[in-house]
Amino acid sequence: MSKTYKFISWNVNGIRAVDKKEALLWVDEVKPHFLAIQETKSTIEQIPKSIFSKEYKNLVASQSAIKGRSGTCLFCDIDLHHKGICPEVDILDEGRINEVHFTLGSRDIALFNVYFPNGQSKEERLKYKMEFYDRFLDYCENLKSQGKSIIVCGDVNTAHTPIDLARPKANEKTSGFLPMEREWIDKFLVAGYIDTFRHKNPDKKDAYSWWSYRANARANNVGWRIDYFFVSEDLKDNIKNAYIMHEIMGSDHCPIVLELEF
């Protein structure tokens, strides 16, 4: 008999701020098997215990060497074979990755919760973002060559195609929609990974996961889809559903969901 596993990813833009808004209490009702959070902006010890009541078997967290920046954490209800923070990719120790390995069905899986760099601040950060992308793909490919199935979730900080943002023409020269950034996602997909949301919703428009705090962007749905669940192609038949939780407030992002059946 098959079982459905629910994975949720959310850039909370500050986990302590979200806790004060009680914006994660929905977890107690939804009960995801995996909850991946990006941009905690906290040390591991500062992750609040009060964000929800549900108790998870595992909490894997990383923190930036610079306080108040980046940070990721992953709650999961599955027994893990391995957990880490992937310093081979996150070479500046910015707390950008959680890596866990586990088994579902007959699959030996490596899951990555990633807060990919933003390239908007200056040229050096855009260069670092592209190098981070390439290091990450190489790392995944190495694991795949060892027989691992791959799941990647998080804030990728790039909209892939014009359908993935409200104003593509106006943002052609903006980091997050530059040709080189979009081409890397092309490269990632060609290497054998599936954008699960587009796999289930190939033509869906006006489906975004991030909105600027300026100009009433969220109310007007002037947004970008920059948060993703990718899976390696060997998991294609396991994809049951992929969708965006637009109704969840508390951050400039909203959660995204992947359901896999094993």
Give catalytic residue positions: 155
For residue 5, give the nearest of 29, 30, 25, 24 by alpha carbon. 30
Amino acid at 48: P
The region, left, alpha or beta by phi > 0 then psi within -120 to 50, assigned to residue 238 is alpha
Q: Which residues have C-beta within 8 Å of that of residue 53, sequence separation ≥ 6? A: 28
Asked if residues 94 and 70 have their Cβ atoms less than 8 Å apart, the reply is yes
Q: Where are the alpha helices (DSSP H) in 94-178?
A: 123-145
| Residues listed for the chain | 262
What gap in Å lies between CA 28 and CA 230, rounded to an integer? 25
User: From start to end of 31-85, where are the E strands?
Assistant: 34-38, 58-62, 72-76, 82-84
Extract the tokens encoding 61.
């967290």
